Structure 1
Amino acid sequence: MVGADAALMQDLEARAARRLDQATLGAVMIPAFGHGGEHASALLLDVPLMMRLMRGFLKEGGGAAAARVAKLVDMYLAEAALEAGLRPVEFEELARAVPAHAPPADDAMYSVVDTYLKAHPGIAKEERKSLARLIDARKLTVEAATHAVQNERMPVRVVVQVLFSEHDKLNRLAELSASFSGQRSPSPSPSPNPALELPGRCPSKREVLVQHHEVRRLRDDVARLQVCLSACLEFPSLHMYTNFGGAPTDAETYVCSTVQVQCSALQA
């Protein structure tokens, strides 16, 4: 509120911060009114106010409330990322203020970072790298990983981290696939002495159907991963290397080739 008493403003902000988990995106999309200096006048949204609300909430909030606030801040970041006047350090500060009670997938953070990089193509290389550290490659879904590997805006470090993460996932898929194949292996020939035979249990029809469904789902995941990781075959010529400088290292090339081989083996 323009011209409002400072003490009154602080009291209102403190009350709003305590109830931030109940707020909607529209409620926190508060326009900037030009206060806060020359830089603040370049912002359409009052990002500094949102930061103060976050700090106030984090002093007391937690549990399920923190999870709701994390989702709210993710949505707010998606809008704030388009702000031409929002500096990288401010965007990063707000993003790092998101409570740790985040969902298993990290696609929202990847999306907002990508949006910011797209809206601010002129930021420095080090700032780009710093923002990319907000992304947890281990939590990306298959769709986000596919996009990240082929995303020219992402620094090389992020691409390599995604590849290593997907490499680990493929290892686990390979182990599960081998385990399932072992369950379907033909049983040994009957023992000449029935008394020596070990008691066995045949899986029920429902268990077999569940296993088949799981294998089909895993194969679908592998197929989508292969679309993502097939870009590794073109690693030396990816645009991202011409944009950010440098060629893939031997380690990066090794990871790419290893993942590609495992993809082919799993689909066989």
Structure 2
Amino acid sequence: MQFPLPECRLREGLGMLLFTALSADKAEAGGSALPADAHPPRRAPHSEAMDKARPLWDTPLQFVFACISYAVGLGNVWRFPYLCQMYGGGSFLVPYLIMLIVEGMPLLYLELAVGQRMRQGSIGAWRTISPYLGGVGVASVVVSFFLSMYYNVVNAWAFWYLFHSFQDPLPWSVCPLNSNHTGYDKECEKASSTQYFWYRKTLNISPSIQESGPVQWEPALCLILAWLLVYLCILRGTESTGKVDSMSVTHTTAHGNAGSLTH
């Protein structure tokens, strides 16, 4: 049966990925991935040059740390336990683990295999497999862009609270006094000191959604600082990114494990 060129390239690309995975598994076991008379799929003609042109991680451990840094974030540490408790507690883990094994782990393995085999960016790698899959690469770039946009806002809030934490007492620990200094602010008394500091000092939200309000310069400067740190971390590519990932992952996991042992 004859296939058009894109479908043939798709089958060839997926076959190369499967051959790479089987070869790696058999090599670790000390055997051969294919019979003696079998030939591996044809390697992409540009991949040899790409292996030398693209920078590599200094050590395999840095690559592992980079994957952990990308996969583990505030959503895992902060939001996942909250959602787990909201949607059934321990019973939520049953469908979660099923989907993790059925969908999550195969997609993760596929993404790692595509990157290691093609040695290209997201768009170029999927277009090499098939021109029809170029949209998958574009979609992943768009997702990464929006992910970094809103995650860096959270980092800016962290800097905001860090700078205000040097005050004594903490500004979110007590309600401020009213304009006459005869008592506490009524709005703060109706809610709490932490909510008041968040909505009135950090966000300074407008009365309605139709009003945008002025620019909050102090949080904006914290956002600029967050983006500056991101730029410094990726300035030298994998050389600087690998070192930052190693320190951040080690600190995060060590702190979390220490907390789990004390509670």
TM-score (norm 2): 0.26
Structure with the greater relative contact order (CA < 8 A, sep ≥ 6): 1 or 2?
2
